[in-house]
Amino acid sequence: QKEVEQNSGPLSVPEGAIASLNCTYSDRGSQSFFWYRQYSGKSPELIMFIYSNGDKEDGRFTAQLNKASQYVSLLIRDSQPSDSATYLCAVGGFQKLVFGTGTRLLVSP
């Protein structure tokens, strides 16, 4: 069983729609949760981090965490073609970070 699981996609959404990206993790002791965006040929860029159960909003992005269900999600509102990238979920504990393999998002104009 992979430690951090994501659907590889691609997830295709039209411009202006809400994109929903999901991630599950296996280590119940995990305390820190991150979403990174990676464009092709580039390095990962931090989008958001969340530590507590519930929702955290930052502009068009909302991260949701449910530790009981071991589930993290990222919602992107008003999706733009420039949001087309691979989104990496990362789960941390005791200064180690484990990444999922990423979900590829395609936003069509």
Partner 1 sequence: KAGVTQTPRYLIKTRGQQVTLSCSPISGHRSVSWYQQTPGQGLQFLFEYFSETQRNKGNFPGRFSGRQFSNSRSEMNVSTLELGDSALYLCASSAPGTSGALGGTDTQYFGPGTRLTVL
Q: Return residues touching partner 1 (CB under 8 A).
A: 29, 31-32, 34, 36, 42-46, 49, 51-52, 88, 92-102
The amino acid at 44: P
Residue 23 contacts by C-beta under 8 Å, 6 or more apart in sequence?
4, 5, 6, 71, 72, 73, 74, 89, 91, 100
Rounded to a whole number of angstroms, the minimum distance from the CB of residue 17 to partner 1 is 27
Residue 8 contacts by C-beta under 8 Å, 6 or more apart in sequence?
101, 102, 103, 104
Rounded to a whole number of angstroms, the minimum distance from the CB of residue 16 to partner 1 is 30
Q: Which is nearer to partner 1, 77 or 96 (CB)?
A: 96
Rounded to a whole number of angstroms, the minimum distance from the CB of residue 80 to partner 1 is 22
User: Quick one: CA torsion of 90, 3, 86, 9, rounded to 10 degrees?
Assistant: -150
Q: Which is nearer to partner 1, 54 or 94 (CB)?
A: 94
Rounded to a whole number of angstroms, the minimum distance from the CB of residue 38 to partner 1 is 9
Q: Which is nearer to partner 1, 65 or 79 (CB)?
A: 65
